[in-house]
Amino acid sequence: MKFTELGLSESLLKAVKEQGYTTPTPIQQQAIPVVLEGKDVLAAAQTGTGKTAGFTLPLLERLSQTHPKMQKKQIRVLVLTPTRELAAQVAESIKTYGKYMKYSSTVIFGGVGIYPQLASIKKGVDIVIATPGRLLDIAGQQGIDFSALETLVLDEADRMLDMGFIHDIKKLLKMMPKEKQTLLFSATFSKEIKQLASGLLKDPVLVEVARENTTAEQVSQVVHYVDKSRKRELLSQLIKTKEWQQVLVFTRTKHGANRLTKQLEEAGITAAAIHGNKSQGARTKALAAFKANEIRVLVATDIAARGLDISNLPHVVNYELPNVPEDYVHRIGRTGRAGQSGEAVSLVCVDEHELLFNIEKFIKSKIKKVHIEAFAPNPDIKAEPIQKRQGNRGQSRNAPKKKKSVGAEINSAPTTKPKQRRKPNKENNAAQIGANLQARLDAMDKKKPNTNHKRKK
């Protein structure tokens, strides 16, 4: 299939061509025609599949087709994202694809001054890309009017709920008109997501590209077993001997990210850290320097890295394995994006064997182990439990905060709630949507042999 067959206008096709895209990705092929028709969409898709263009292109097309008279503070399209980085990236995509179109847009997120954001909405904008918390603050000040909203996009809805935004989202939804198009993108489908979807979506078209526990086929994955105390040394050696020029390195904690950045700098490797404690300015600066190849290593925590889109990123290193297996898939999804090949290297110490076991179980395949003689682990070192720190993940920003321990980190494992099973019920639209989706995902799985965990391209 070609982009020209999707019903997009010349100005969008020209911008797409300039990006060097030749064929629409599977999610774009599925989503663009239905979004153009104005239908609601429930999409099972993660970053790296081309989902941003999948909703941005048809939304820009629809915007250009009508020219309603707008009042001050009214907006036509709202895209909600979990993180500032993702909001900035979606805004960037809209700018890129809408280069030859007439529209206005603005990005709204916390950590920066609210007044310029209020002023830009007051001037009148067609598209707002926002994180829920700051948008709610603005809405609370009557700074935005949703009465003319035509389309709402919830991007990475699962992560928004993970981060405790559900109450903010619900409050925002109450301010919006019932009649609107809604697109919900999520990598996973928990009970909460299904409930949210059922209350929001009308007759949604299901679009699915890859199961959340699949890893990109273009990413080669290896594990090096190494002692914890020698990880930094091994990382420096890998970067230097393999001449890696652009590496995204994951640590479990913000403190760990800062410490590693400092150590890499001391070893003569340019590096910067990106995590929730850094100001928005510092995060944007670090990302820009990394993208421009001014620094070789970007050290990130899971939440900060969520949604990062760095084209052609060749190397991802798990300096520490994540506590949550799903985060492994998200991490390595930073490389091997949209058809590019990539390499994901995990440095695993004795404490992390159980985490590795859980990850392999989750992705349903064994990761190749490559032994490095000079870094062979000392067999006398015994495993110590990995400290799972209490963080604010999973808490609403408005909910009373749990008391944090000293040095608590945001990116800790989410607290697991006992699973409640609910019988599917015909009246229960949530269960129905979930059951339909689950059946289709199961059917996709059945089509594949058990060892095939590749992303559908």
User: Shortest distance, CB of residue 21 to ligand AMP, whole angstroms?
Assistant: 4
Determine how β-strand 205-208 pairs with β-strand 77-80.
unpaired
The first and second tokens of residue 349, run together, are 């110490």
| Residue of 91, 94, 97, 87 lying closest to 307 (CA atoms) | 87
Q: How far is the CB of 24 from ligand AMP (least distance, A)?
A: 5
Question: One symbol per residue from 264 to 303: x for binding ligand AMP (CB under 6 A), - otherwise; what is it?
Answer: ----------------------------------------
Rank residues 216 and 437 by Cβ distance to ligand AMP and give the closer one. 216
Binding mask 317-346 for ligand AMP (x = CB under 6 A): --------------------xx--------
Helix, strand, coil shares of the chain as percentages rounded to 5?
Answer: 40, 15, 45
Q: Is 49 in the site for ligand AMP (CB under 6 A)?
A: yes
The Cα-based distances of 210 to 24, 162, 442, 455 in angstroms read 16, 20, 11, 6
Terminal-to-terminal C-alpha distance of the chain: 13
- The verdict on 26 binding ligand AMP (CB under 6 A) reads no
Distance, in Å, from the CA atom of 198 to the CA atom of 393, rounded to the nearest integer, reads 24
CB of 52 to ligand AMP, least distance (A): 3
Q: If binding means CB under 6 A, how many residues of this protein chain bind ligand AMP?
A: 15
- Minimum distance of ligand AMP from residue 360's CB (angstroms): 25
Give the type of residue at 410: I
Q: How far is the CB of 176 from ligand AMP (least distance, A)?
A: 24
> Which span sits near ligand AMP by CB under 6 A: 21-29, 60-68, 158-166, 379-387?
21-29
Q: How far apart are CA 254 and CA 277, in angstroms?
A: 7
Instruction: Yes or no: say if 316 and 308 are a contact pair by the CB < 8 Å rule.
Output: no
- Report if residue 311 touches ligand AMP, rule: CB under 6 A: yes
At its nearest, how many Å lie between ligand AMP and the CB of residue 25?
5
**309: contact with ligand AMP by CB under 6 A:** yes
Q: Which is nearer to ligand AMP, 82 or 164 (CB)?
A: 82
For residues 454 and 49, give the distance between their C-alpha atoms in angstroms, rounded to a whole number. 12
Nearer to ligand AMP (CB atom), residue 255 or residue 454:
454
The Cα–Cα gap between 401 and 397 comes to 8
Q: Under the rule (CB under 6 A), what is the footprint of ligand AMP?
A: 21, 24-25, 28, 47-53, 309, 311, 337-338
